[in-house]
Amino acid sequence: MVEIIPAQTIELHDLIEKFGLQRIEDEQFFREWQENLPELTDVEKQALDEVKRDYFHLAEYPMLEPIVKMVVLSPLLKLAGFYRPPFYLSAQKEVRIAFEDEGVTITGRLDILVFTPEFWILVVESKRAKLSLQNGIPQALAYMLGNLHPEKPAFGFVTNGSEFRFLKLTREDRPKYATSYLFSLDRGDDVYTVLQVLKRLALFFSSDL
């Protein structure tokens, strides 16, 4: 009998027990967020400064997920180049991922999926401003396990508007993943680095096509 798990209820131990998911501590496994990051222009930095000002103004009241997407996530994806060829975006995409060997099916809706016609590129989970990113990481990893091209790495980006974390998952031999540092809108120029990493991933996949 196939076990059906809603993605929004999945926890990290479920992925470890059912799929053998392994966390990798070796920094060499996930270098894409640490090196060869493109420089930002003054115009891009000014746009990010405006994002910060807008967010902190609006955060004086409870900020729901749609506002987080509009104020923070949308400008970041646009500045990174994910609104231009060869990329496409899908929001609230219904996903049903069946793992026949494990007898498990994961169902749910992706917040935002960045993709090309060939394969999924970046799974984005955005949460309400008050929620911890830990709530979104297992859900993003579950969707990343369903990457249509397992020979290629899958990347994830989780944000609650004020904090950001990148994920990488590979499926060679056994599923393995690593996370970036936690970036914060409150801390110095962290948001600049977040955009640099997104631009780095956009360039990586553009050249890989």
Q: Which domain holds residue 96?
A: 3-24+39-208
What pLDDT was estimated at residue 99?
A: 66
- In this structure, is residue 52 part of a structural domain? yes
- In this structure, is residue 179 part of a structural domain? yes
- In this structure, is residue 75 part of a structural domain? yes
- In this structure, is residue 33 part of a structural domain? no
- In this structure, is residue 32 part of a structural domain? no
Distances (CA, A) of 69 to 45, 46, 130, 167, 195: 19, 19, 14, 19, 15
- In this structure, is residue 175 part of a structural domain? yes
pLDDT digits (tens, 9 = 90+) for 80-103: 999 999 999 987 777 777 665 567
- In this structure, is residue 65 part of a structural domain? yes
Instruction: Provide the number of structural domains found in the chain.
Output: 1
Does the predicted TM-score (pTM) go above 0.85? yes
Rounded mean pLDDT, 62-78: 89
Percent of the chain scoring above 90 in pLDDT: 47
- In this structure, is residue 89 part of a structural domain? yes
pLDDT digits (tens, 9 = 90+) for 135-187: 788 888 988 887 777 888 999 999 888 899 999 999 888 899 999 999 999 99
Full 3-state SS string of 115-162: ECCCCEEEEEEECCCCCCHHHCHHHHHHHHCCCCCCCCCEEEEEECCC
